[in-house]
Amino acid sequence: MPDGLGARLPAPLFERLALIGVGLIGSSIAHVARRKGLAKTIVATDAEPAVRKRVSELGFADEVAETAKAAVRDADLVILCVPVGAMGGVTQAIAPQLRDGAILSDVGSVKGSVIAAVTPHLRPGIHFVPGHPVAGTEHSGPDAGFAALFRNRWNILTPPEGTDPEAVARLAEFWRAAGANVEVMSPAHHDLVLAITSHVPHLIAYNIVGTAAHLEEVTQSEVIKFSAGGFRDFTRIAASDPIMWRDVFLNNKEAVLEMLGRFNEDLIALQRMIRYGDGQGLFDLFSRTRAIRRTIIEQGQETAAADFGRRAAEPDE
């Protein structure tokens, strides 16, 4: 029978959680795991000595390990929070140290290529359950994390065929306890869905900011001055971590090129409407897109606050 204390503090889901890479996502996992008591011990590490030093200062991990290899020792949950292109190398380094029965997961924005890079290094008895928490901000690094980042956001798990259902269920429980919703789908479908909801949007945001930066007729100072007309919102997305996004595009090439092809087709149709003055066609499209936003707000993935005008950030006089 539980004593008073035991009844009030539920047992942690994991004994020892190892976070490999402590950027925005890694530090946010540490914050929420500590706040909700999801692991008895949180150990964190990062390839950058400066990041490890900062994590020690910030104090959101119980231990800061010098190497990934040292960090995973005895861990029953290991989450790789490194750029997609680094997943294979890190797994190779840690694989011999992984404890039998450990759950290994990741937070990469691409799943097919991560599975291909990680799986060959794993021996039987290690449960690899790839995941992708669809949440973020344009800030990066260990100072950027916060416990509420995953709340009411979706985490997509993409277990390869044959994965132990018990391991999937335990990881799903971890993420639900962190405030997230959990969805399970195939890696290939994940990569297609994210190509249109995340990768191509980032690509065109990076692209318009790049186009604006090297015009001859319009100065960069004018672009910045008059950015409140819409451009500003694209720079927010185009300020996301360059290494992370380089790796996303290199590792989800097929789906991104496929979705970009569709975007281009549609853009050409829109361009023709403008050229030939098809006001009805423009009005119809612009009305449909407005309705989609309403649905996103209704489903709790966005608030209706007029952030476009930054009203919240600029209180009325």
Instruction: Restricting to residues 30-49, name those near a copy of itself by CB under 8 A.
Output: 35
Helix (H) or strand (E) holding 264: helix 253-275
Using N-to-C axis directions, what is the helix angle for 200-213 and 242-251, rounded to 10°? 120
Size of the site for a copy of itself (CB under 8 A): 118
In terms of C-beta density within 10 A (0-12 exposed, 13-18 middle, 19 or more buried), how is residue 275 classed? exposed
> What x/- string results for residues 200 through 239 when contact with a copy of itself is judged by CB under 8 A?
xxxxxxxxxxxxxx-x-xx-x-xxxxxxxxxxxxxxxxxx
Cβ distance to a copy of itself smaller for residue 160 or 201: 201
Distance in Å, CB of 30 to a copy of itself, minimum: 14
Q: Does 253 bind a copy of itself (CB under 8 A)?
A: yes
In terms of C-beta density within 10 A (0-12 exposed, 13-18 middle, 19 or more buried), how is residue 99 classed? middle
Assess contact for 107 and 155: CB atoms under 8 A.
no
Site residues for a copy of itself, 64-93, by CB under 8 A, read none
Q: Does 122 bind a copy of itself (CB under 8 A)?
A: no
The three-state secondary structure class of 169 is helix
Distance in Å, CB of 117 to a copy of itself, minimum: 15
Q: Does 60 bind a copy of itself (CB under 8 A)?
A: no
For residue 307, report the phi and psi dihedrals to the nearest 5 degrees.
Answer: -65, -25
Give the C-alpha separation, 46 to 52, whole Å: 6
Site residues for a copy of itself, 148-207, by CB under 8 A, read 148-149, 151-154, 156, 183, 189, 192-194, 196-207
Q: Does 270 bind a copy of itself (CB under 8 A)?
A: yes
Give the residue carrying structure tokens 């964190």: 44
**Binding a copy of itself by CB under 8 A: which of 146, 160, 177, 186?**
146
